[in-house]
Structure 1
C-alpha cells in the first residue's frame, strides 16, 4: 500500500489503484442501503449536502462544492477528497480511515466526536474551524495546511503530526496531546500552551513557545514602563 511519511509518522493512503478495482461515476453520494463503494463523484455544485448513517468506501470525491454541508454518522474508508470546497461543514459522530483531503477548503468547519485513523490533510484550509473531541486513533498528518484561529477542544491528538502549517492563533483547549509532533512549524502565536504537555518539538522552538507564552499571559516588560 502507498504511504505518506513525514519524520516518524506514516499514513496509509487510500488503496484506489489496486488491480481489479474500477471506480464508477456516480451523481450522488447516497448509496443503496446507506453504502456507496467503488465510486467517483466529481464536479458537483450543491446548495446543501446532507448525509447520515452512510458508509463511503473506495472512492474519489473531486471538485465538490457545497454551500452547506452536514455529515452525521458517516463512515469513510479509503476515500480521496481533492479540490473540494465544503462551506459551513458540520461533521459529527463519524469515523474516517485511510483518507486523504488534498487542496480542500474546509474553512469554519465544525468536527465533533470524529475519529481519525490514517488520515492525511495536505494543502488544506481549515481556518476558523473547531475540532471538538476529535481523536487520532491512528496516524494523522496535517501538511502545509492553514489552521489560523482554529480551535482543538478536548481533542486526543497523540498520534498526529503537523508540518509546515500556518498556526497563527491556533488554540488548544484541553485534551490529550502526548507525542503530538509539532516540529517544522512556527509556534510563536499558538494559544493554550498549558494543554500541550509532552509534545514533540525541536530545541530551537523553545524560543517560539516563550514568545507564545508571553503573549498569552499578556505580560508587561519592565523596560516599557514609564519612569515615575
Structure 2
C-alpha cells in the first residue's frame, strides 16, 4: 500500500493499481443508490455538479471543470482527483478518506463540517477559501499549495502538516492546532497567531512569527516616527 511521508506525518494513498481492480469509464458521478465504485470520470465541462448523500469509492476524477459544484453528505474513499477546476466549490457534512487532490483549482471554495483522514493536497490552489469546522481525524498533508487569504475557522488540524505552501494572509480563527507541523513554510504573513498554540515550527521560523505578530498587533516602530 503506497504512502507519502512528510517528516512525522504519513498519508496512506489510494490503491488504484491493485490487482483485480478495474476502473470503468462513467459519464456521471450519480450512481445507483448514490454509490459509484471502481470508476474513472474525466474530461468534462459542467455548468453545475450537485451530489447529495453519495459514496465515491475506488476511483479517479481527472480534467473536470465545473462552474458551480455543491456536495453535501458525500463520502469519498480511495479516490484520486487530478487536474480539476472546482473553484467556488461548496462541500459540507462529508468524510474524505485516503484521497489525493493534485494540481486542482479550489479557489474560493467553502468546506464546512468535513472530516479528513489520509488526505493529500498537492500543488492545489485554495486561495480565498473558507474551511469551517474541518477535522483531521487522520493524517493530512498540504504540499506546495497556495492558501492565500484562506481562512480556517474552528478547525481541528492537529494531524496536519504543511510544506512549501503560500500562506500569505492565511488566517486561523479558533480551533485546535496542537502538533500541526508548519515547518518548511514562510509564516511571516499569517494571521490568527493566538489560535496556533503548540504547533511545530523550526527555530528559525520564530522571527517570521514575530514579524506576523507585529503586523497583527498594528505595531509602530519608533524609527519610522523619527524618520517622518
TM-score band, normalised by shorter chain: over 0.9
Matched position secondary structure for 1:44: strand
1:162 matches 2:182: no
Partner of 1:115: 115
1:189-222 CA distances to partner (integer Å, 9 max, x unpaired)? 0000000000000000000000000000011111
Where has structure 1 moved over 2 Å in runs of 4 or more?
A: none
Alignment match, 1:209: 209
- The unaligned stretches of length 5 or more in structure 1 are none
Distance (Å, rounded) in 2 between the aligned partners of 1:117 and 1:203? 29
Determine helix, strand or coil for the equivalent of 1:169.
coil
TM-score by length of 1: 0.99
Return the alpha-carbon distance in structure 1 between the equivalents of residues 88 and 181 of structure 2.
28
- Closer, same or farther in 2 for the Cα pair 1:227/1:140, shift >3 Å? closer
Deviation digits for residues 74-97 of structure 1, max 9, x if unmatched?
A: 000000000000121000000000
Q: 1:190 aligns to what SS in structure 2?
A: coil
The residue that corresponds to 1:19 in the other structure is: 19
Q: CA RMSD in A?
A: 1.0
2:107 match: secondary structure: coil
SS of aligned partner of 1:225: helix
Separation in structure 1 between the aligned mates of residue 155 and residue 11 of structure 2, nearest angstrom: 19
For 1:75 and 1:44, the matched residues in 2 are separated by 21
Match of 1:92 in 2: 92
Distance 1:30 1:224 in 2: 61
Matches within 5 A, 1:64-103: 64-103=64-103
